Amino acid sequence: MPTILLVEDDPNLGQLVQEYLTMKGYPTDRATDGNQGLQQFMAGNYDLCIFDVMMPKKDGFTLAKEVRMGNRDVPIIFLTAKAMQEDAIQGFKVGADDYVTKPFSMEELLLRIQAILRRYQRSADSMEPSVYQIGSFSFDYPHQLLTRTGGNGTVDGTDLQPQKLTSKESELLKLLAQNLNQPVSRSFALKMVWGDDSYFNARSMDVYVTKLRKYLKEDSAVQLVNVHGEGFKLIV
């Protein structure tokens, strides 16, 4: 059955929703603030997320933006006590699939979840590409191969040889390719690829970024740049 991540700071409502959805056959994990929610999302494999908007440490909109950086396709439903149109608009701007205003009935929430999951199931085959085009490079993520493409298998008369990437190189390049021309924060990349943003892992990531730059330098239209105060951006 699909697994759900619920991030809700109200302990009573959170427990009620968690128990109801689990009883209905949707195993549900619960976090009580945005930071904890992001950690659980990165550690798990969820088919749908339910985020409260107003939460301590990190609000639901910010949490959704960070989740979208690593997974553009997971469905997100927002819960809020506000019935303001501005909240609904902001929610859809950051990629919400639905928006439920408190108080709500459990039956209504369940029906909305089921409708979204059916819609996503129908398009599941086309949701996540396995090959990314990065300028003149083709990145085959499942096989961890980076190839510079040419019309007849050559560039300037030189045979093209695929570059075999390591697992970490592939994970990092995939994250950057998913956010092409958009900044990816250092902390988020570290947590997504290395599991935490410790100093040691940060130094390790810098080495991998240097390696990726070396692989991509053959195409002058492709740049992996540092964004001051944010992280990195893969520009094409």
pLDDT of residue 221: 93
For residue 77, report the phi and psi dihedrals to the nearest 5 degrees.
-115, 130
Q: What is the pLDDT of residues 140-176, one digit of tens each?
A: 988 889 998 764 444 454 446 789 998 889 999 999 9
Cα 177 to Cα 28: distance, rounded to the nearest angstrom: 30
Q: Stretch 118-140: mean pLDDT, rounded?
A: 77
Could you tell me which of 61, 50, 63 has the C-alpha nearest to residue 98? 50
Kindly report, as residue ranges, where domains of CATH 3.40.50.2300 are found in the chain.
4-125
Percent of the chain with pLDDT over 70: 89
> What CATH superfamily is the domain 4-125?
Response regulator (3.40.50.2300)
Please list the residue range(s) of the chain that carry CATH number 1.10.10.10. 131-235
- Over residues 211-230, the pLDDT tens digits come to 999 999 999 999 999 998 88
Q: Say how far apart CA 43 and CA 88 lie, in whole Å.
A: 28
Q: What is the CATH number of domain 131-235?
A: 1.10.10.10
pLDDT tens-digit map of 48-74:
999 999 898 899 999 998 888 877 778
Identify the band that residue 34 occupies on the pLDDT scale cut at 50, 70 and 90: very high
Q: What local confidence, expressed as pLDDT, does residue 219 receive? A: 92
**What are the distances in angstroms from CA 170 to CA 49, 142, 208?**
26, 9, 10
Q: Which of 116-120, 181-185, 230-234 has the lowest mean pLDDT?
A: 116-120
Do the Cβ atoms of 96 and 70 come closer than 8 Å? no
> Confidence band (pLDDT; 50, 70, 90) for 121?
confident
Closest CA to 42 of 195, 144, 215: 195
Higher pLDDT, 192 or 117: 117
